[in-house]
Amino acid sequence: MASADARERIIVAAERLIAEHGVEVPLRDIATAAGQRNNSAVQYHFGGRDGLIDAVAQHRIADLEQHRLELLAQSEATGEAQDVRALVSALVVPMLTVPYEHGATHYARFLDRVRTHPALAADTNLDRAGRAAVRLIITRLDRALRDLPTEVRRRRLRVLPTVLFALLADRERAEPTADPHAAAELVDLVVGMLTAPVSVGPR
């Protein structure tokens, strides 16, 4: 139990310090912030920096996924299973509520800092266990946006995490609390990015 508690304290400390200082924050600073007297505590529990970043990224996934599955079920019940706005809402709304209800104050900024890390790389991340909701959302968005040229559609879906993490991090800097009312504007922005008309011009 003590080992599990130490592991969670390190994860929470890492989320905050990486959000504030970037991925190169010294591991000994994270261990100290987590109340660990042994500077090699991160190595012991996570095998190093990459393992720690991966663990922090996974820490809140189960709760986020559960909320997303509930929202997807609601959209299916109301006949909006293929609606772009409903799909984006299922992706965005949990990120504005779930982490903060569990006491997080730096989650979005952490994601923005590590968005290029393999732990969050879309080409591998979507295939992981526990990602059913996100996989379903992306698959349905790809189908719902079929009026866009294939390359445009796939490019927009590829940059979706970058745009979303940046928007969430910006809101969190202003107010690091749960705020379901902020969802409407963020959903508007993401939907606008995904569905914007394609400009016609020289190749």
With a pLDDT cut of 70, the percent of the chain lying above it is: 93
pTM of the model: 0.88
Give the per-residue pLDDT at 120. Answer: 74
Span 10-44, pLDDT tens digits: 999 999 999 999 999 999 999 999 999 888 899 99
8-state DSSP, 51: H
- What is the C-alpha to C-alpha distance for residues 141 and 150, in angstroms, rounded to an integer? 12
* Domain boundaries, given as residue ranges, for the chain: 2-57, 60-195
User: CA dist 136 to 95, 123, 126, 133, Å?
Assistant: 17, 14, 10, 5
> 25, 17 in Cβ contact below 8 A?
yes
What fold characterizes domain 2-57? Arc Repressor Mutant, subunit A (1.10.10)
